[in-house]
Amino acid sequence: MTNPSGSHDDEPLVTVPVSGNDGPADAGSYRIKTPAGASTSSTRWIMPGETVDIDDLSIGRGFFYVGDFRRARPGPVDACVVDTGAPLAPEATDPAVDIGVLPPGYATLSGEERRTYLEWLASSRRKSDIHTRYLFLHLFGFERRVLIDGAAGKVSAAEYEEMTRELLRMLNLDADYSWQRHVRNLLDIIGLMAARTGKVYDQKPPNGSATGYQVPLNVRVAFGQAALDRHPVPAGWALAWVKLDPMMIRRAAVARCPDEFDRVFMRRYRERSQEGMLVPVNRTRLNVLPQPAFKALQNVPLPGFLLGLPDVAAVTGPRNRLQLLMNESADALGAFSRYLARNPDAYGSLEATLMLPPDVWPDATRDALAALASDVADTTMVTTFGTLFARFKVMGTLTRDRMASFNAALSQVGVALEPDVRLGARTPKPDDAVVLFAAPATSAPAHTDDAYVVATLMVDLAAAVATADGSASAAEIALIEREIDAWSHLEPLQQTRLKARNLVQLAQAASSAGLKKKLEPLPAAVKKAIACFLVQTANADGTVSREEVKLLEKIYRMLDLDPQRLYIDLHQGASAASGSPRGARAAGAAKPGRSASKDATPDARPAGAEFVLDTARIAALQHETARVSAILADVFVEEQPAVPLEASNAQASVEPEEPEEVAATPGALLGLDDAHSTFLRLLVSRPAWTRAELADAAADLELMLDGAIEQVNEASLDHWDEPLTDGDDPVEINQDLAQRLAA
């Protein structure tokens, strides 16, 4: 092998055997000439914890060679050795002054420069004002320890770890490009040397960002070994390649949200290749050169286990596959990345988290979800959305889409929420009531059908009646829940959700907009069943208040039932519930000037009998409601266009009916006129537009571009609580809303 520069041809050779995993035992051996006349036995490596006293200085931080060359001439590889016999000046020179010798060596330093160097070694070894050449002189010692002693097997794994930590600390002592490159190169070599008894791809992969102009050596060695062994490349090493390869094209999400990108990439990599990607063996061989800063070591060969490896960086196949996967992973984080770009302080907030795939959510959010699931495991929790959001980091009001994602995340940990926007509820406000209860873990929304829709109307109206006089009594609440349990035609989970819905309605009265439309399509038999249930609720506590009667009159009219019939129903219900004149008096007193007994029909039930709904008959009514399912869907979709199966959102108090909405112009979108509807259709035909392209399109429609975009976004906000477009040039289109509009 070649000799270290500066050596003499007549000097004896020292053979250092290095064992490898493949090939003959001496395949990795090489020879280094012993420096002429050097007392090599006096040169030793100092580790941290061992104190060396030189003159009046005491050095205890280690990581340098020390020797005594007073009786021998130092060789080229000894340039990094601190000669204890070399004289020191009493005063140090200015540490910021250049040494002036290239390459630097301890023997070539003046007495003042030696003191400067030793004082730095004895200090905390910060950059301060010391010149970069002193730093390189210190680095030479690390390189000799790794490339000579390490190759000879004299360095333990623990020492490699200590050197790695120190070199990582030293990396940022100087921003000089050459310094950074050589320190990184040495760290790569240490990683290889530490794996000399195994495989590099079994070691922990490096982390960082791309520097220089090629893939780091240790990454190429790991891929080369995996190719030779026909071993799948582990996900961590695939991630290291995409992050450290300077030839890779990286989108903004890779740098803007690195932790999330790492998790998405690793998950997708494992999904695509299971155990890992298999890399073919190509013909180009990897040239493993340590390229040390210490010139005397530039021709020192590496052990045999690093020889004969294919250079995977020389072919495009693996790189292209990784590039495609990196692009897909970055695309999955696109919305999250753009949101952080606009809202830098939103990192960790629930709004930002909901834009991430659930399996890469931050640990803090996962912990909050787990704690919530534990709290509702054995109980039903009644609270407000504001209180619920306080358990998470919510910066404002969630949009409808984000709220749906939040509900899905709760469902996955076994927490159901009522109201649920996925079932047609409006986007909640912080003061709105909410009920949380345990349910089977699933990512799908709850099952709804026509029977469930009718049941929600009945529960909402019953809660309105119960709270008409200020608050619901325990008897009224118990009756509603008992009737829900009796509706055997519903699934158990539907019954549980109806009970939660009842608690929401009891806790907070809300608008009854659109209630009449939802009641009108129901068959007469269903309307009578609803009226019967409401009368039963009013009579549950033995007292029917004036407010309850007034509300029931309005509901009877909305059900197309004769309000005069209400008083007969109340009398019969009161008599059946109480079995005494007290109930009848309560019903009669509710309407001044009217006698309940006068209008009453004799009750055939025995005194004291409980008045209950015919649950078998109610179950049969679900078949009658099937024929009006299309009408129900049309009514509900007007209020909540984003939910495929719309549930009734009738609320607790009945207010004066709202005027009918004017039918939209045929072909109009989101209530826009023809020109803006055409502009909207054009917008959603592409994921992004340049401003110049949109300016031409707006001009063709005789619209001002900024005004047209503003009108479209206002309409989108009214319907979906978020704008359709984002950005100025290019103008990006919200694809979720575009797909919803297309549907």
CATH code assigned to 674-742:
3.90.1150
80-94, 245-259, 407-421 — which one is most confidently predicted on average? 80-94
d(CA 233, CA 276): 5
pLDDT value at 48 more than 60: yes
Give residue 211's pLDDT band: very low, low, confident or very high (50, 70, 90).
low
pLDDT value at 469 more than 50: yes
- pLDDT at position 265, please? 95
- Tell me which of 585 and 269 has the higher pLDDT: 269
Nearest to 277 by CA among 236, 234, 240, 241: 234
Instruction: List the chain domain ranges.
Output: 350-438, 450-637, 674-742
Q: pTM of the entire structure?
A: 0.54
228-232, 464-468, 565-569 — which one is most confidently predicted on average? 228-232
- pLDDT at position 574, please? 55
CB-based contacts of 240: which residues, under 8 Å, 6+ apart? Answer: 205, 206, 207, 216, 219, 222
d(CA 137, CA 145): 13
The answer to which of 174-183, 303-312, 413-422, 450-459 has the lowest mean pLDDT is: 303-312
- pLDDT at position 213, please? 67
- pLDDT at position 323, please? 94
pLDDT value at 489 more than 50: yes
Q: Would you say 101 and 108 are in contact if contact means Cβ atoms under 8 Å apart?
A: yes
**DSSP element (H, E) containing 683:** helix 674-683
d(CA 494, CA 448): 8
Q: Would you say 688 and 678 are in contact if contact means Cβ atoms under 8 Å apart?
A: no
- Count the residues in the chain: 743
Nearest to 288 by CA among 164, 163, 178, 151: 151
The residues pairing with 416 across neighbouring beta strands, listed in sequence order, are 437
Instruction: Tell me the pLDDT of the chain averaged across its residues.
Output: 78
At 348-406, the pLDDT tens digits run 788 888 888 877 888 888 888 889 999 888 889 999 988 888 888 776 677 888 888 88
Task: Say how many CA atoms lie within 13 Å of 736 toward its Cβ.
Answer: 16
- pLDDT at position 643, please? 35
d(CA 228, CA 238): 16
Give residue 642's pLDDT band: very low, low, confident or very high (50, 70, 90).
very low
pLDDT value at 488 more than 90: no
pLDDT value at 228 more than 80: yes
At 25-37, the pLDDT tens digits run 444 444 444 444 3
CB atoms < 10 A from the CB of 338, how many? 17
Q: Would you say 188 and 218 are in contact if contact means Cβ atoms under 8 Å apart?
A: yes
- pLDDT at position 575, please? 53
By CB neighbour count within 10 A (0-12 exposed, 13-18 middle, 19+ buried), where does 301 fall?
A: buried
Please report, rounded to a whole number, the percentage of residues in the chain having pLDDT higher than 70: 79
| DSSP structure string for 83-122 | ETTS---SSPPPTTS----SS--GGGS-HHHHHHHHHHHH
- pLDDT at position 141, please? 96
Average pLDDT over residues 712-734: 84
For CA atoms 229, 230, 235, 239, the dihedral sign is: positive
Triad 141, 144, 149: Cα angle to 5°: 125
- pLDDT at position 701, please? 72
| DSSP structure string for 627-669 | GGHHHHHHHHHTT-TT-SSPPP---SS--PPPPPPPPPPTT-S
pLDDT value at 589 more than 50: no
